[in-house]
Amino acid sequence: MQSFDEIRDYAKNVLSQKRFLHTLSVADEAKELALLWGADCEKAYFAALLHDIAKEIPFEESKEILKKAGLPTDFIRPLIHGPVAAYMAREKFGICDEDILNAIRYHSTGRTGMSVLEKIIFVADFTEPNRLYTDSKEVRELSRKDLDAAMLLQCDRCIKFLIDTGKIVNTLTVDLRNSLIKQQKRGKDK
């Protein structure tokens, strides 16, 4: 596995300045959340540094990477970078930890049954301090008190935005939202 510095240097070379600064900010946010929620800070930092590593690879090239790897290619343009980044993390950077790979793979969509690390990367990508929209700030504040409640709010806001703008809502995100609501309801029933 390569070092933080090597991965950070690679990211700096392949990402735009804006995307690179976002990546560093997500890494800092992920480390902070990992400390707060008892996750491995090193894993959180690695996952965050790599989460958007494939974000600026053209769509057709991303599909070709997945096809050559024998992986599914049926992703919409804004979401394909997660699976491609997870593939690159394993093949290019020697990351074999499935928790890190899943955190990278599902950072945009979420999924049911997420580990604490996956939740942290999902939330950190949405709440890093350079995200200036109101929803981001609300989710960020809530993430310090209740990580699952923050994820539910994030899902609600993202789904509403996608519906309002006529975009496709990924079923993984819908399933995650529904599972969080069921979990929340079970907690209230106790």
Residue 187 has pLDDT above 80, yes or no: no
**Model pTM?**
0.95
**Domains contained in the chain, CATH given:** 4-189 (1.10.3210.10)
Q: What is the pLDDT of residues 127-163, one digit of tens each?
A: 999 998 889 999 999 999 999 999 999 999 999 999 9
Q: Cite the DSSP H helix spans in 93-146.
A: 98-105, 116-127, 134-143
Residue 91 has pLDDT above 80, yes or no: yes
Structure tokens at 84: 């491609």
Q: What is the pLDDT of residues 106-121, one digit of tens each?
A: 999 999 999 999 999 9
Q: What is the mean pLDDT of residues 86-97?
A: 96
Single out the residue of 80, 26, 25 nearest to residue 57, CA to CA.
Answer: 80
Residue 190 has pLDDT above 70, yes or no: no
Q: What is the pLDDT of residues 74-85, one digit of tens each?
A: 899 999 999 999
d(CA 69, CA 72): 9
DSSP assigned state of 154: H
d(CA 39, CA 91): 24
d(CA 109, CA 13): 26
